[in-house]
Structure 1
Amino acid sequence: MVPVTAHTKRPVGLAVFLVVAAVIGFAAAFALTLDKFALLENADAQLSCNFSVLIGCSTNLSSPQGAVFGFPNPLIGLAGWSILGTIGAAILGGARLSRWFWICTNLGVAAALALVIWLITQSIFVLDVLCPWCMVTWAVTIASFWAVTLYNLKSGRIPVPASVRRAAAGAFSWIVVITLASYLVVAVIAQLKMDFLNRL
């Protein structure tokens, strides 16, 4: 196991990414929150993100899936992205986080990914609509999961055998390709189920 000490190099690149991802994710969650307020005031409100029956936010926000825990999902995003952005900013400010904190962060992004995967399946297979702001959230969540997880594995924050650390280090250098491949999987599934290219 790689020892994590006070002299371990700070992941500045990852920190910058977390801040940027958090800003994008927070903006999407904020926009969805405003749209939810608009729908609460007027159920027939025409939202700026509604482009067609295939692409829009109203269906998602008004559905039971849009409030998984009894309150609007965007509120989860506002809280989650604020936390992730704060973590990135803290690292840039000189903070050196303990292993337990990194593991908790990883659990957080893994939980976010699990929720996003469920929401993706609901949008594609149940609601038959793609929400633009939701897709932005999906994109940054997927990227954040890969970035944090592969960093934790390659750096030894998550205790794993040396072979796994080496594999994670190799994968980390291909993180852009891995992330784009993840997006492609979602796009292919959506196309096969919704035939959105022909329905635009």
Structure 2
Amino acid sequence: MPHSASTRRPTTLAIWLIIAGVVGWWAAFSLTMEKFHLLENPGSKAACDFSVLVQCGENLNSPQGSVFGFPNPIIGLGAWIAPIVVGVALLAGAKFANWFWWLFELGMLFAIGFVIWLIGQSIFVIHTLCPWCMVTWSVVIPTFYAVTLYILRSGLLPATTSIRRAARALTPWIVLMTILSYALIALLAQLELGVFF
């Protein structure tokens, strides 16, 4: 039986999903347009190429920029619609079946896993920081925390009472968890790339 929290409308989560979805979609759209520009103008620079260290071009033209055979931003153009739709539906009072939340969480697990891999590739292999990519990272991380903790504390995923209790206790700390995640990325970038010097 789902925890009673699942019967209450998660307004804060819904609003965040809409905001994150819009920001993430815009980042994906901007990167897609930059990719079109680079394809149409070989040898040119992307508008987000600010320096050797901070740029989009290297990332977009690298093998990591087209992992599945097409530019990664196209994934974002499709995937970021889901949080927007879910957020709007939640605000409208929609209630989703458990299996829907399981699929949504699988999507979030893919997103965070893919982002972690891309962060590692960007810092340690390509040696650049892509501005629009970082925007994407900045919304995927807190969205993953928010969705995962909501699902766990609400009993929408099979979890013990202690896990649900821990998820409820961690929920107020999502902002801090996000900041610490950003700090870790910044530390790795500094150690590998010397970002601040």
* Deviation at residue 124 of structure 1 after TM alignment: 0.4
* Deviation at residue 44 of structure 1 after TM alignment: 2.0
Q: Distance in 1 between matches of 2:155 and 2:184?
A: 29
* Deviation at residue 149 of structure 1 after TM alignment: 0.3
| Matched residue type, 1:134 | C
SS of structure 2 residue aligned to 1:173: helix
* Deviation at residue 10 of structure 1 after TM alignment: 1.4
Report if the CA contact (8 A) 1:57-1:132 is conserved. Answer: yes
Q: Which residue of 1 aligns with 2:155?
A: 156
* Deviation at residue 84 of structure 1 after TM alignment: 1.5
Once the two structures are superposed, what CA deviation does each residue of 1:108-130 show, in whole Å capped at 9, x if it has no partner? 01101111111000000000000
Q: Which residue of 1 aligns with 2:86?
A: 87
Q: Distance in 2 between matches of 1:137 and 1:123?
A: 13
* Deviation at residue 43 of structure 1 after TM alignment: 2.0
CA RMSD in angstroms comes to 1.4
* Deviation at residue 4 of structure 1 after TM alignment: 5.7
Report 1:81-120 matches (<5 A): 81-120=80-119
Q: Which residue of 1 aligns with 2:134?
A: 135
Once the two structures are superposed, what CA deviation does each residue of 1:63-98 show, in whole Å capped at 9, x if it has no partner? 110000000000000111011111111111121011
| Matched residue type, 1:140 | V
Q: Which residue of 2 aligns with 1:175?
A: 174
* Deviation at residue 99 of structure 1 after TM alignment: 1.0
Q: Which residue of 2 aligns with 1:74?
A: 73
| Matched residue type, 2:111 | A
Does structure 1 residue 53 correspond to structure 2 residue 45? Answer: no
| Matched residue type, 1:146 | Y
Q: Which residue of 2 aligns with 1:187?
A: 186
Q: Distance in 2 between matches of 1:30 and 1:87?
A: 20
Once the two structures are superposed, what CA deviation does each residue of 1:10-48 show, in whole Å capped at 9, x if it has no partner? 111100000000000000000000000000001222222
Report if the CA contact (8 A) 2:2-2:154 is conserved. Answer: no
Q: Distance in 1 between matches of 2:189 and 2:151?
A: 31
Report if the CA contact (8 A) 1:4-1:99 is conserved. Answer: no
Report if the CA contact (8 A) 2:3-2:153 is conserved. Answer: no
TM-score by length of 1: 0.95
Q: Which residue of 1 aligns with 2:23?
A: 24
Query: Which runs of 5 or more structure 2 residues have no equivalent in the other structure?
Result: none
Q: How many residues align?
A: 197
Further displaced range: 139-148 or 44-53: 44-53
Give the fraction of aligned pairs with identical amino acids, expressed as a percent: 52
